[in-house]
Structure 1
Amino acid sequence: MRVHRSVPTTLLAGLAATALALPLALAGPASAADPGARASAVPARGTAHMGMGVLEHDGRGPVAPGGVSALAGWTEGVDVASHQGNVAWSTLWNSGVKWAYVKATEGTYYKNTYFNQQYTGSYNVGMIRGTYHFATPDTTTGTAQADYFVNNGGGWSKDGKTLPGVLDIEWNPYGATCYGKTQAGMVAWIRDFVTRYKARTGRDAVIYTATSWWKQCTGNYSGFGTTNPLWVARYASEVGELPAGWPYYTIWQYTSSGPTVGDHNHFNGDLSRVQALANG
């Protein structure tokens, strides 16, 4: 089920501005003339997570003091991965976080080593939760990665507590920004993933991305907006321009530095809308 609400023009009023610039360059692999230029900058495979490239490429804007109650009528959630380790889910729940997404897989080579604690722990405190897959389109096909995701935590069941899986498609932390693909090739890869995911689960995968990356690497392709809910990343006081084809966002990742662990996100609706997405 898609969530359709008007995108507000001004949000999180009165927020304090924070500037941060990261020195790491992730534009692409080292050139032949300087083969060691990026050796120290490339992270280990498996360590990628949602929003890893947002700060570098899109920057950071204001973050809401206190975070979770900034928007009346929106529902606060977090996304986590292995670098957060064992998460204090009861603390998050008490702070107002009601849903969570947990990284399950990356490529066809990595499974989150903290998956059980994070996925089961969020459920046990009462959260509606789901899982996401960090895509690496340069390593294997979209179909193969969708299968790997579903087989390792990315499935779905209509229990009212399980959100559809997420395709996290964004800047490549390991090499060339667009994973060496043309814009048409990237669109085809994404289509293969979401088509296979739906065939396996019966659900349309949520697509997580940032508008600037989407423009650069897909040519601002508009063909997924009628089927796949949008999770947009932008660390600012306004969500800004959305990728083509999506008149509304379902989830907005608005900061990587909230008052509690994990990236913080607003679901575009109240808790009943989160439940509706979970139920399909």
Structure 2
Amino acid sequence: MKTRRRSPSRSKNSGLPPFLRALRFGALAALSLGLASCAIAPNSRYPAKSDIKPHAGVASAHRLPIHGVDISKWQGKVDWAALRQAGTKFAFIKATEGGDHVDNRFLENWWGAKNAGVPRGAYHFVYWCRPAHEQAVWFKKNVPQDPEALPPVLDVEWNGESVNCPKKVPREQALSMINVLLREMEAHTGKRPIIYTDITFHKDILEGEFNDYPYWIRSVAAEPQERYADRRWTFWQFTTTGRVPGVSGDIDRNTFYGTENQWRMFVASACDPRDHKRLQPLGICRDISNGVQTANIDE
């Protein structure tokens, strides 16, 4: 690269003594680094984590206290100890897709997270060209039963990029398939599943449906309430370009809606604390042991 030649005019610093020029340079450098870090993660509680393409529309996510990630084979080898040290409070790990695909790093990640002390749950990606009962059997075959795991996740979105099955199915068919999978996943794990979805699929299929289930929604450019009609969320995927120690390259970052107390209640009961009083008598939520709830449910 050709180097530009400096103008013969004197710079503003040229008349300063060397030590003053050095102090001025250091101050400017520190200011630049501070501004850069604010741009990466505004008001972040986890400065070790960042986002290479931060969006102002989701800045509020950084201020919430409970953050986590979702993981698949595309993240490569994960250093789970480093991930936990960075403040990661949960991980959702891809397990199965359709009725014949297992993520080839699922078990490695599943046990790696447990050994590092990172609460984790498994997720199944729905394939709309495969009967729901076959997908349920596949999930049960490949996901270990672990009473200490987080609730499983049912990932429902259109897959227009699929080579074999890019089509959409009618709304009633989609709802029927989802219902079967939710029921069977709950029977296998003993926990009510979380529904993961995106803006388009929610509008096409899920508005007004499955309101007794916790939702994990994707919104990477705006607050969830700006993109989802009348949908209360429990988890929010707010960026796909996050960076976290322990993972090379981009990773999805997520946040839980509530406080640290509410998170403890969620982990202990496998239910959104806002639903516990209503659903626990139905046998859906586990009893909360003494000492878990340390404050009012709204705190």
- The two structures have a TM-score, normalised by structure 2, of 0.64
- Per-residue CA deviation, residues 30-67 of structure 1 (Å, 9 max, x unaligned), is xxxxxxxxxxxxxxxxxxxxxxxxxxxxxx870799x9
Percent identical pairs in the alignment equals 29
Q: Which residue of 2 aligns with 1:205?
A: 193
Pair 63,99 (structure 1): closer, same or farther in 2 beyond 3 Å: farther
Instruction: Give the deviation of 1:232 after TM superposition.
Output: 0.1
Instruction: Give the deviation of 1:165 after TM superposition.
Output: 0.5
Q: Which residue of 2 aligns with 1:135?
A: 126
Q: Which residue of 2 aligns with 1:107?
A: 98
CA distance in 1 between partners of 2:99 and 2:67 (Å): 30
Counterpart pick for 1:224 among 206, 210, 225: 210
Q: Which residue of 2 aligns with 1:146?
A: 136
In terms of mean alpha carbon deviation, does 96-105 or 111-120 score higher?
111-120
Instruction: Give the deviation of 1:86 after TM superposition.
Output: 1.2
CA distance in 2 between partners of 1:187 and 1:170 (Å): 12
Q: Which residue of 1 aligns with 2:223?
A: 238
Counterpart pick for 2:257 among 268, 273, 277: 268
Contact 1:107 1:135 in 2 (8 A): yes
CA distance in 2 between partners of 1:123 and 1:63 (Å): 34
Pair 223,149 (structure 1): closer, same or farther in 2 beyond 3 Å: same
Aligned with 1:77: secondary structure?
strand
- Per-residue CA deviation, residues 129-163 of structure 1 (Å, 9 max, x unaligned), is 1110111021x222221221122116441x3xx10
Pair 278,146 (structure 1): closer, same or farther in 2 beyond 3 Å: farther
Pair 176,236 (structure 1): closer, same or farther in 2 beyond 3 Å: farther
Amino acid at match of 2:263: V
Instruction: Give the deviation of 1:270 after TM superposition.
Output: 3.3
Q: Which residue of 2 aligns with 1:80?
A: 71
Q: Which residue of 2 aligns with 1:26?
A: none
* 1:196 matched to 2:210: no
Amino acid at match of 1:70: H
Aligned with 1:164: secondary structure?
coil
- The two structures have a TM-score, normalised by structure 1, of 0.68
Aligned with 1:174: secondary structure?
coil
Pair 178,229 (structure 1): closer, same or farther in 2 beyond 3 Å: farther
Contact 2:57 2:221 in 1 (8 A): no
Amino acid at match of 2:156: I
* 1:258 matched to 2:246: no
Contact 1:16 1:64 in 2 (8 A): no
* 1:118 matched to 2:109: yes
CA distance in 2 between partners of 1:203 and 1:215 (Å): 26
- Equivalence map 1:38-49=2 (5 Å): none
Pair 271,234 (structure 1): closer, same or farther in 2 beyond 3 Å: same
Pair 183,243 (structure 1): closer, same or farther in 2 beyond 3 Å: farther
Structure having greater relative contact order (Cα 8 Å, sep ≥ 6): 1
CA distance in 1 between partners of 2:230 and 2:190 (Å): 22
Which protein has the larger Cα radius of gyration, Structure 1 or Structure 2? 2
Pair 263,154 (structure 1): closer, same or farther in 2 beyond 3 Å: farther
Gaps of 5+ in 1: 1-13, 18-59
Pair 243,180 (structure 1): closer, same or farther in 2 beyond 3 Å: same
Amino acid at match of 2:242: G
Amino acid at match of 2:211: G
